[in-house]
């Protein structure tokens, strides 16, 4: 998928191993380090502006708790079966969110990144267009649509909002759209949005849209990843993106081969250097924040023939590829 190399090296929320995720500094650094693409997670505000945050609950990635004017917005919600207490983007206008600053989500693991807390504002999806267009070589946005069924239920249809904001910028060459809910991918494509679509699949669980529609009879993620499931996916999407635990095993190459046979590209997430995130075979020592044998794990994943990898430290993926 990359005009220059395979696999596509996708900076996960920007270079989030080095700077607070989804900040301008993280995205710009990602391209400086050689990434082919950046991955924003997309959620809406109350007034329908799309912002880039990993989740709509933002207490862990912004300084919202330090703003007394927003104290009464703290609430408890259940989103896709997960109950959380905090502050949610859909309860704020864009003007209000614009007053917040980003902070490191994992300060105990990434203390260097936490040193940048408070320096960068939240970004809108449209703010990324200029960052991508400023690159001297072709660059790609891999946009993840978050919690589409939930947002539709409260009057914020993600397909409509995304299609409106991406119109006039997106092309078949610079956009990939991904989601854990296949139905929203179809609706986005139906609105004439160009680019490729990728279905995100966890190792366990059920897609939220299918659970809402079909209840106990809903097809699981595992069902989607069988030979028959992959063939069905290939009729509607261009690729599948899976947890790296499915590729780090001895059967990883076989899965990639099966998906390729079905006509699907394969992405995987997320390559990270710290022990906390590495497969047990590649951890070194007991300190979660220490870097383990990331090179060994990255090589194993790359050797499966995967078409794209999401990484918090994209420079390390390039090092593994060069090695």
Inside any domain, residue 189: yes
Domain annotation covers residue 116: no
Can you tell me the distance from the alpha carbon of 240 to that of 199, in angstroms, rounded to the nearest whole number?
5
Model confidence pLDDT, tens digit, residues 266-310 = 999 999 999 999 999 999 999 999 999 999 999 999 999 999 999
Mean pLDDT of 205-230: 97
What is the average per-residue pLDDT within 107-124?
98
Residue 222's CB: how many other CB atoms inside 10 A?
14
**What does the pLDDT look like over 119-137, one tens digit per residue?**
999 999 999 999 999 999 9
Does 316 map to a domain?
A: yes
CB contact at 8 A, 10 and 309: yes
pLDDT the model gives residue 280: 96
Cβ count near 138 (within 10 Å): 13
244, part of any domain: yes
**Cα–Cα distance, 172 to 191 (Å, whole number):** 14
DSSP secondary structure string for all residues of 115-133: TTTTSSB--BTTHHHHHHH
Q: Is the pLDDT of residue 257 over 90?
A: yes
Reported as a pLDDT band with limits 50, 70 and 90, residue 35 is very high
- Contact between 22 and 97 under an 8 Å Cβ cutoff? The reply is no
Beta-carbon contacts of residue 83 (< 8 Å; ≥ 6 apart): 76, 77
In a domain, 76, yes or no: no
Query: Is 81 part of any domain?
Result: no
* H-helix segments, 145-291: 148-153, 158-166, 182-190, 208-214, 221-224, 227-234, 252-262
Count of other CB atoms within 10 angstroms of residue 42 = 24
Rounded CA-CA distance 217/128 in Å is: 39
8 SS3 class: strand
171: its two tokens = 């092309």
Strand partners, 231: none
Which has the minimum average pLDDT: 176-180, 247-251, 307-311? 247-251
| CA pair distance 105, 62, nearest whole angstrom | 8
10-29 average pLDDT score = 98
Domain count along the chain: 1
Domain presence at residue 236: yes
Express as a percent the part of the chain with pLDDT over 90. 98
CATH number at residue 206: 3.20.20.190
Say whether pLDDT at 2 is over 70.
no
Helices (H) and strands (E) in the chain, counts: 13, 12
Within-domain flag for 61: no
Distance CA 300, CA 190 (A): 37
Residue 3 has pLDDT above 70, yes or no: no
pLDDT of residue 110: 98
pLDDT at position 5 over 80: no
Q: What is the mean pLDDT of the chain?
A: 96
- Residue 219 sits in which domain range? 8-56+125-322
Tokens (6 digits) for 220: 């699981």
Q: φ and ψ at 218, to 5 degrees? A: -65, 140
Q: Is the pLDDT of residue 4 over 50?
A: no
């Amino acid at each position: 998928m990359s005009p220059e190399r395979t696999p596509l090296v996708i900076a996960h929320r920007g270079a989030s191993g080095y700077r607070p995720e989804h900040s301008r500094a993280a995205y710009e650094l990602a391209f400086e380090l050689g990434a082919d693409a950046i991955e924003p997670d997309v959620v809406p505000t109350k007034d329908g502006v799309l912002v880039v945050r990993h989740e709509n609950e933002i207490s862990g990635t912004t300084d919202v708790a330090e703003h007394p004017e927003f104290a009464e917005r703290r609430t408890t919600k259940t989103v896709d079966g997960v109950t959380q207490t905090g502050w949610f983007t859909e309860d704020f206008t864009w003007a209000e969110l614009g007053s917040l600053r980003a902070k490191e989500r994992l300060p105990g693991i990434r203390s260097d990144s936490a040193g940048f807390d408070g320096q960068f504002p939240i970004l809108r999806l449209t703010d990324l267009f200029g960052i991508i267009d400023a690159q001297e070589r072709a660059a790609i946005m891999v946009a993840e649509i978050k919690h589409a069924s939930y947002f539709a239920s409260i009057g914020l249809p993600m397909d409509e909002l995304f299609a409106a904001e991406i119109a006039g910028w997106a092309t078949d060459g610079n956009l990939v759209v991904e989601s854990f809910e296949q139905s929203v991918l179809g609706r986005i494509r139906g609105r004439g949005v160009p680019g490729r679509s990728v279905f995100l699949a966890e190792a366990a669980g059920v897609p939220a849209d299918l659970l809402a529609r079909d209840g106990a009879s809903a097809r699981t993620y595992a069902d989607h990843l069988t030979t028959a499931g992959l063939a069905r996916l290939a009729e509607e999407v261009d690729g599948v993106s899976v947890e790296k635990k499915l590729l780090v095993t001895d059967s990883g190459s076989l899965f990639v081969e099966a998906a390729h046979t079905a006509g699907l590209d394969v992405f995987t997430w997320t390559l990270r250097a710290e022990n906390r995130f590495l497969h047990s075979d590649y951890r070194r020592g007991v300190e979660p924040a220490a870097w383990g044998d990331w090179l060994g794990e990255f090589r194993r994943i790359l050797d499966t023939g995967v078409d794209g990898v999401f990484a918090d430290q994209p420079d390390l993926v390039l090092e593994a590829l060069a090695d």
